[in-house]
A and B are shown apart, each in its own frame.
Chain A
Amino acid sequence: MKQRSFSPIAEGPIPLMAPAAVFLAGLFLVPLAYVGWMSVSQPALGLQNFGRLLHSGLFASVIYQTFRTAFLVTALALLFAYPLAYAAANGSKRFATFLLTVVALSFWTSYLVRTYAWMVILGNQGPVTALLTWLGWDPAPKLLFTTFSATLAMTHALIPFMTMSLFSVMKRIDPLHVRAAESLGASPLRAFVAVYLPLSAPGIVNGCTLVFITCLGFYVMPVLLGSPRDQMIAGIIGDQIEQTLDFGLGSAISIVLLGLTLAVYALYNRFFGLDRLWAGGGR
């Protein structure tokens, strides 16, 4: 028996969706289109900007660096987040609450607070350097403003995202499945690998996709904590805005970044469908 939805506000959807639609069209799509337009019209009409990028060894290395870092961060985040999410999904209520509180605390802390924290921790007057020196590593290596510090900071910042993606899927895994496997003769490790791991796969895919995409476009932490010689894409876009003022080139780089991002989403959509990503995995 179908019951038509009944909305007391307005009879039709148009007055309800129009404000948001118009707003986003004018204040989101237009600036975006503007970037596209600038990429092929500054300083002159044509695809010269893209041509420059194509032939630029520097740009190629930036892309490589960005992807390499993104993959690394994603893998590390997964490594750290999986046990965390597993313990939260399968542990006692108190332990789970504790873990999730920690994750929430990290999730809500702004990137700039983190950046400052890492600057203190990894700085040459900070605790890590002190520890390394005390262990005999003298002079201690430079930890800050390196690819290492940027990668570490990004991983640390993205663990909460990965954890939440994993957790929302793991929470729905019926523990009986694993118990059934064990009752059929599988060792706990075997049961985990053969049953639990595949069941948690949607969470893994979701989390990795989200983290990877965030990494591609990351600005604050790579710029403030990373090495100026090994920049990521967002950083060089920022350079065009602030320093060289080459908006044509900056727009072209942005389009490339956008293209790469959309490619990842398209890949995900092809296999899983986009609304799964935002529903938190598994319906």
Chain B
Amino acid sequence: MNPFLRALALLIAVFVAAPMFIVIPMSFSSAASLTFPPPGYTLANYINFFSDPNWTEPLVNSVIIGIGTVFVTLSLAIPASFALVRHIFLGRGLFNLLIMLPMIVPTIVMALGYYMYFGQLRLVQSYLGVILAHSCIAMPMATLILTAALKGFDQSVERAAMSLGASPFTTFRLVTFPILRPAFTVAGLFAFIASFDEAVIALFISGRDKATLPRQMFNAVRQEADPTISAASSFLFLLVLAGISIWLAPQFLRRRSGFTRQPLENGATNTAPAAS
């Protein structure tokens, strides 16, 4: 490929990645203001992040709400995706549209709606309210992941299980679910992250007591008063970095090992050096 193009792509990649890395040195900054480079280094911000209830409570709230969102979303999205992929029924298109709607409607509009509606239902400033709102937000993506996995799922293993004596429920438990578990996990992960990172709705309906981490960060940025925001940002960024590394690691390890197994007809396997 054109070396100029390679250089350009590299440059753009650096532009895309670099700005976020700045939060890491900032998190160790001893200054209260946004001075860069930091005048001195300290762990105070991190200590504060993990000890000041102004930060630890939102962190815990976000985790609780995230987990709640995962449960609600998956309980709804898993059966819905089965309905969408395995059944043909009148209104299927409409149902699909309904599920995708939260992706279409701007979040601020929903935030206003929830604020007014949940306000009536006394659901503001509660875990439940935010969990329910976040579940709506997470549904489209979770359903997309699940339907994609289901479409690629070969139903003959289910038929095989049934022919071998497994009832429909046992088939689901012992065959369908284990095979789909990775997809369920990914969908759940997306739901968790969607909820954990969600700022706009949480800003308006999570209330001061049940504030989420993004809400706390939003206010901290707005007021520019609390340098702990740097530790919070760095913490989140490093989580993403760690997550991606963990996901990539198996691929790197496999390449390094240099050996692959090849099945042979006579039953032995040949351990041969990899082509690279």
Q: Do chains A and B touch in the complex (CB under 8 A)?
A: yes
Residues of A within 8 A of B (CB): 5-9, 12-13, 15-17, 19-21, 23-25, 27-32, 34-35, 38, 80, 83-84, 86-88, 90-92, 95, 97-99, 101-106, 108-121, 123, 125-127, 130, 156, 159-160, 213, 216-217, 219-220, 224, 234, 237-238, 240-242, 247, 250-251, 254, 257-258, 261-262, 265, 274, 278
Judging by beta carbons under 8 Å apart, are B95 and A21 in contact? yes
Determine the residue in chain B with the shortest Cβ distance to A24. B98
Min C-beta distance of B246 to chain A, whole Å: 12
Q: In this complex, which of B89, B112, B116, B237 has the most chain A Cβ atoms within 10 angstroms of its Cβ?
A: B112
Q: For B115, list chain A residues within 8 Å (CB).
A: 241
Q: Which residue of chain B has its CB nearest to the CB of A210?
A: B103
Closest to A217 in B: B106
User: In the complex the two chains form, is B221's CB within 8 Å of A112's CB?
Assistant: yes
Q: Please measure, in the bound complex, the distance between the C-alpha atom of A98 and the C-alpha atom of B243, giving whole angstroms.
A: 15
Q: Which of B83, B108, B132, B244 contacts A17 (CB 8 A)?
A: B83
| Contact of B20 with A234 in the complex, beta carbons under 8 Å | no
A120 to B9, CA, bound (A): 25
Whether B236 is near chain A, meaning CB under 8 Å from some CB there, is: yes
Q: Are B172 and A9 in contact (CB under 8 A)?
A: yes
Q: Is the Cβ of A17 less than 8 Å from the Cβ of B36?
A: no
Report yes or no: B109 in contact with A257, Cβ–Cβ below 8 A.
yes
- Contact between chains at B214 and A110 (CB < 8 Å): yes
B80 adjacent to A102 (CB under 8 Å): no
**21 residue pairs bridging A and B, Cβ less than 8 Å apart:** A5-B155, A7-B87, A17-B84, A20-B79, A32-B110, A35-B109, A84-B12, A87-B5, A87-B9, A105-B17, A110-B236, A112-B233, A113-B217, A114-B19, A117-B20, A121-B19, A121-B36, A125-B35, A159-B12, A219-B111, A220-B218
Q: Are A30 and B117 in contact (CB under 8 A)?
A: yes
Contacting B111 at CB < 8 Å: which of A23, A29, A105, A241? A241
B217 and A116 contact, CB distance less than 8 A: yes
Task: Fill in one digit per residue for B87-98: 1 if any A CB lies within 8 Å of its CB, else 0.
Answer: 111001001011
Cα distance, A32 to B106, chains bound together (Å): 11
Instruction: Give min CB distance, A276 to chain B, whole Å.
Output: 13
The DSSP consensus for interface residues of chain B is helix
Q: Give Cα A32–Cα B72 distance, bound, in whole angstroms.
A: 20
A102, B13: Cβ atoms closer than 8 Å: yes
* B113 on interface, CB distance cutoff 8 Å: yes
Chain B residue numbers with a CB within 8 Å of A160 are 16
Bound: A213/B35 CA distance, A: 35
Given contacts A32-B113, A109-B237, A237-B108, 5 further A-B contacts (CB under 8 A): A19-B75, A31-B113, A84-B12, A101-B244, A121-B36
List residues of chain B with CB under 8 Å of any chain A CB: 1, 5-6, 8-9, 12-13, 15-17, 19-20, 22-23, 26, 33-37, 72, 75-77, 79-80, 82-89, 92, 95, 97-118, 132-133, 135-136, 139, 143-144, 155, 158-159, 162, 168-169, 171-172, 176, 193, 196-197, 199-200, 204, 214, 217-218, 221-222, 224, 229-230, 233, 236-237, 240-241, 243-244, 248, 251
Partner among B1, B34, B244 whose Cβ is within 8 Å of the Cβ of A125: B34
In the complex with contacts A20-B80, A21-B98, A91-B1, A13-B105 CB distance below 8 A: no
- Tell me the minimal C-beta distance from A40 to chain B in angstroms: 14
B-side contacts of A38, CB under 8 Å = 116
What is the predominant secondary structure among interface residues of chain A facing chain B?
helix
Closest Cβ of chain B: how far from A8's Cβ, in Å? 4
B6 in contact with A95 (CB, 8 Å): yes
Structural contact, B16 and A108, CB atoms closer than 8 A? no
Contacts of A241 in B (CB 8 A): 111-112, 115, 204
Which of B1, B89, B109 touches A217 (beta carbons < 8 Å)?
A: B109
Using Cβ atoms and an 8 Å threshold, which residues of chain A touch B20?
Answer: 105-106, 109, 113-114, 117
Q: Are B222 and A224 in contact (CB under 8 A)?
A: yes
Contact A120 to B34, CB < 8 A, known contacts A8-B176, A115-B221, A216-B106:
yes
Which chain B residue has the least Cβ–Cβ distance from A130?
B36
Cα distance A238–B13 in the bound complex, in angstroms: 34
Min CB distance, B15 to chain A, in Å?
7
B80 touches A19 (CB 8 A): yes
Closest CB-CB distance, B248 to chain A, in whole Å? 7
